[in-house]
């Protein structure tokens, strides 16, 4: 079954943002890894993942209706 999520990619990941990110169509029950494959983003670029404001993992499952935020690794000195 199809459902929608809100997808937000931050900083250097913005280049992977699909045009329909505010209402991105997914298959219910996909993992974050599946989502990354769907948007052609290498999984090693996803350092921090949040689902509805709560830290999540690559194997976290999406059912639809979630807000997903993905951040790259942060460097600095």
Q: Indicate whether 76 belongs to any domain.
A: no
Domain that holds residue 40: 2-64
| Domain at 24, CATH number | 3.10.20
Q: The whole model's pTM is what?
A: 0.93
- Report how many domains make up the chain: 1
CB distance 70 to 15 below 8 Å: no
- Quote the pLDDT of residue 58: 98
Q: From 39, 40, 58, select the one nearest 49 (Cα to Cα).
A: 58
**pLDDT digits 0-9 by tens, 1-51:** 999 999 999 999 999 999 999 999 999 999 999 999 999 999 999 999 999
- Quote the pLDDT of residue 25: 97
């Amino acid at each position: 079954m199809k459902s929608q999520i809100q997808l937000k990619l931050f900083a250097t990941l913005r280049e992977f943002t699909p045009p329909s990110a505010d209402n991105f169509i997914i298959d219910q029950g996909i993992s974050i890894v599946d989502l990354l494959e769907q948007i052609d983003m290498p999984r090693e670029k996803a350092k921090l993942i949040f689902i509805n404001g709560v830290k999540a993992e690559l194997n976290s499952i999406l059912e639809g209706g979630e807000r997903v935020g993905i951040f790259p690794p942060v460097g600095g000195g």
